[in-house]
Structure 1
Amino acid sequence: MATSNKPPAPPLARRLWDTGFPVTVVLLVLLVVWYGAAWGMNANAAIERVLEPTGNPWTWQALMTTTWNMERPVMPAPHQIALDFWSSLMDWPLDSPRNLMFHVAVTGETTLVGFVLGTLLGLVLAVAIVHSRTLDRALLPWIVASQTVPVLAIAPIVLVILGSLGMEGLAPKAVISMYLSFFPVTVAMVQGLRSPQVIETEMLHTYAASPWQALWLLRLPAALPFLFPALRVGIAASLVGAMVAELPTGAVAGLGARLLTGSYYGNTLSIWSALVMSSLLGVLLTTVVAVTEHLALRHRRI
């Protein structure tokens, strides 16, 4: 009987330690630096607004406590952000604009719609470019050039054009989100659809396969490993586009609108809580795509 030379897997506790220890160290260093930055950036305001008006002598311990617990800090301490984040989720009903989940639902809807539209547009453009040399030369340079224009410059134009057509609300924000998400899908799918080797395409020619049959049976399956990494990038770009789109549209709901409102009123805690929630939403969306990739490509894994 043949024996395997593969070394035994390390115990679970050892694997968790090897993975968790570096992450824990980095997290602790980040927290120390963050608290130090909060102390330094809030010190002047704490002295001028809180400590000096009392007329009493103060110590460095009092300064440290004050800088980490100011009502409107320049740089919030991590525990302040955590408390504001928890309060926004638990102290208000889900349909209240003060609840972060209310804004997550608005931004998430725009993100998903823009992502689906961007993916479909990217797939259509990639198929057209691969099957037409004229479109390859005519479209691909413009597709690349489109990403050199800042999305903040595109947003007002989209609003004016779609507004003149009577399209308001979700549609303009989804189009702006689509603008950022279609590019990685297009570029990756062009590469993926061209990845089959010559011998594979010639074999289909010997069976008199039509271009659409070659696309369905050979090119699309070969492009899947290129598609899913692009989808992870695309859905993250779609989230960014959705949040950016909420700024010039004057939206009153959504994580982008929450950031804008916080900046207007100098509420840095609200700004940081919205940033944390947007990060969590991005992680969730990319994880869903990664899980879908694992399920779709598990038959390819050895």
Structure 2
Amino acid sequence: MSARGMASRAAMSGGGGSAFPVAVVVLGILAVWYVAAVALNSAWALDQAGRDGVTLSARELVADTWSQERPRLPAPHQVAVELWNTTVAMPVTSKRSLIYHAWITLSATLAGFVLGTGLGILLAVGIVHDRTTNASVMPWVIASQTVPILAIAPMIIVVLASVGVAGLLPKALISMYLSFFPVVVGMVKGFRSPETMLLDQMRTWNASPAQTFWKLRWPAALPYLFASLKVAVAASLVGAIIGELPTGAVAGLGARMLTGSYYGQTVQIWSALMMASILAATLVGLIGLAERLTARAMGGRA
């Protein structure tokens, strides 16, 4: 076999090898999910059958637990059908479309993510370059994350509403609150990652602090930046959803979950959760793509 054929075969086998464990994990999660649906929904099915004087066989019990209108835990196929009906089979402009609600949440997520990333980088620059900032700001940055977001979110919304600020900005600020912390921690680590020998070399070349920052510290911090951004964007999405809960919002994934909880529509709640997961995975994937493109542009291994 030629070298090219061997390389192609190795690449194909490598791709299949990486996909197989993922498939096994997904199938395992689905199996556990289906079993849990039977366990949690069987009590209601047996109670209804007892009232009707009917004895359910094992097969009938399983079928009933996987098809209830308001189950305690919906089966995976029920969530998949609801996702299909509220995305592909529903006009995007409809208030029942999950794409419509996802866009409302995404707008707050991206606004908070941009604000949190900018704030995190600025704080990291100050912490690394100024000892006073390091001693005074860093403890407060860490302490800020000890306060539960569920306690802060209503306060932010009420205070801003009292001065006439509502809509996107309060949710964006809550998202920023959650997303700036991983950026601060990651970038401080990244800016401090260059070895002392390299910093001494820059001093030998009489480089200014700005030149040292842009030519040495910033390139060294890029891997830490992208790793932090992946965590920050997921946290920002969580913040946007939490920001929708105490406001009585009528649009957004958080509002969709809240409405489902009011009326016991667990399938609606789970479909909104799955949509949020898909949205988070997409955002993290886009950051990963930007990371690979940046590495390739800088001559690294993409």
Fold in common (TM above 0.5): yes
Percent of matched pairs sharing the same residue:
50
Worse-matched range after superposition: 232-241 or 163-172? 163-172
Question: CA 1:216–1:165 in 2, change beyond 3 Å: closer, same or farther?
Answer: farther
Report the CA distance between 1:56 and its aligned residue. Answer: 3.9
Secondary structure (helix, strand or coil) at the match of 1:90 reads coil
Secondary structure (helix, strand or coil) at the match of 2:174 reads helix
Report the CA distance between 1:53 and its aligned residue. Answer: 4.0
The answer for the alignment partner of 1:96 in structure 2 is 94
The answer for the alignment partner of 1:26 in structure 2 is 25
Query: Aligned Cα RMSD in Å?
Result: 1.9
Mapping for residues 105-124 of structure 1, pairs under 5 Å: 105-124=103-122
The answer for the alignment partner of 1:63 in structure 2 is 61
Mapping for residues 267-278 of structure 1, pairs under 5 Å: 267-278=265-276
Secondary structure (helix, strand or coil) at the match of 2:281 reads helix
The answer for the alignment partner of 1:76 in structure 2 is 74
Worse-matched range after superposition: 56-65 or 268-277? 56-65
Alignment match of 1:142 (pick from 137, 140, 143): 140
Alignment partners' CA distance in 1, 2:56 and 2:154: 51
The answer for the alignment partner of 1:43 in structure 2 is 42
Alignment partners' CA distance in 1, 2:22 and 2:134: 45
| Amino acid of the structure 1 residue aligned with 2:115 | L
Alignment partners' CA distance in 1, 2:287 and 2:124: 20
Alignment partners' CA distance in 2, 1:94 and 1:8: 45
Q: Which runs of 5+ in 2 are unaligned?
A: none
Q: Which runs of 5+ in 1 are unaligned?
A: none
Alignment partners' CA distance in 2, 1:263 and 1:167: 27
Secondary structure (helix, strand or coil) at the match of 2:87 reads helix
Question: CA 1:35–1:113 in 2, change beyond 3 Å: closer, same or farther?
Answer: same
TM-score w.r.t. structure 1 length?
A: 0.92
Alignment partners' CA distance in 2, 1:207 and 1:23: 50
Alignment partners' CA distance in 1, 2:65 and 2:281: 31
| Amino acid of the structure 1 residue aligned with 2:76 | P
Alignment partners' CA distance in 1, 2:15 and 2:9: 10
TM-score w.r.t. structure 2 length?
A: 0.92
Alignment partners' CA distance in 1, 2:141 and 2:33: 40
| Amino acid of the structure 2 residue aligned with 1:80 | Q
Mapping for residues 210-221 of structure 1, pairs under 5 Å: 210-221=208-219
Question: CA 1:204–1:23 in 2, change beyond 3 Å: closer, same or farther?
Answer: closer
Report the CA distance between 1:41 and its aligned residue. Answer: 1.0
Alignment partners' CA distance in 1, 2:215 and 2:148: 38
Mapping for residues 1-302 of structure 1, pairs under 5 Å: 10-49=9-48, 51-298=49-296, 299-301=299-301
